[in-house]
Structure 1
């Protein structure tokens, strides 16, 4: 069951989702459920709050994690303050706005940053990320400090709660 303060980790099969998972691990996205709404940073809308119905999609996989010490009200206040911030598409630590795990780490400051990875298999930088950054006109921020959803999920501060299947949409 979804409770306020739950962190929602997402697996998906989009090209971007697959590229993130190939470089970093199990998850391509992270969001947080607070007081009936899902807060997250999206490519399309930057930092936003969505209803449960608008967030969950049948074809994606979701795992819930808990941070036992969470102060929902404080974290919600932080999240509300960042609503409308742009999406940090560059993933640079000083980029404008937030990407999904950067947003969660900002409002729930319990996570370390790690050197960012963009490889796949033997490649240090996969062809997906080479093309992605060519389009942005930026160098790939390889080994810059950052976060990713899979790394957040592995934090010893979080407990895996359950694999979440949203039945309201089926």
Structure 2
């Protein structure tokens, strides 16, 4: 899919190469991040700055690997855009706990585009119910791992039957 074919409300799913991106994929599936496109900009929740909007070109330089585009055909783009802007500046939800202040990426998308169900969160890998990465991550936060708490993840959102896969994004 070409960049100029993006439409307002398109969801862009990425496969990052960072350690946390790999841990997210190991626990949940193909994707490690999700963002939404409006007016040449990307709106998403980032570790570094919380909920932000940025130029598409900057987003494409920041992310590590592939970009897949999905579309929700019944989107009311203007209403979703208004909700997306309401949350700008909110902090990142590092704990991934439901009802925490701020948002992680798929939590933000599910909030502004409320078509997704929550599922029990998973933090395992091929060998453990809770991987070593997540054990250390939550030890440093001083929290229990929110295993099976209600939540979302990018791969789960991408699997929604309400979305249509439009293709890999390229120039």
TM-score where L is the length of structure 1: 0.95
Matches within 5 A, 1:28-107: 28-57=32-61, 59-107=64-112
* Residues 59-115 of structure 1, C-alpha deviations (whole Å, 9 max, x = no match): 411000000011111001001100000000000001110000000000000000000
- Match of 2:30? 26
> SS at 1:48's partner residue?
strand
Q: Secondary structure at the match of 2:53?
A: strand
Alignment correspondent of 1:142: 147
Q: How many residues align?
A: 166
Counterparts of 2:83 and 2:89, CA distance in 1: 13
Q: d(CA) in 2 for partners of 1:52 and 1:146?
A: 27
Runs of 4+ residues over 2 Å off in structure 1: none
8 Å Cα contact 2:94-2:104 kept in structure 1: yes
Name the counterpart of 2:157: 152
Which of the numbers 125, 128, 131 marks the counterpart of 2:133?
A: 128
The 1-side partners of 2:56 and 2:88 are apart by 17
The answer to whether 1:4 aligns with 2:2 is no
C-alpha RMSD of matched pairs (Å): 0.9
Gaps in structure 2 of 5+ consecutive residues: none
TM-score by length of 2: 0.95
User: CA shift at 1:134, angstroms?
Assistant: 0.4
**Secondary structure of residue in 2 paired with 1:140:** coil
* SS at 1:56 equivalent: helix
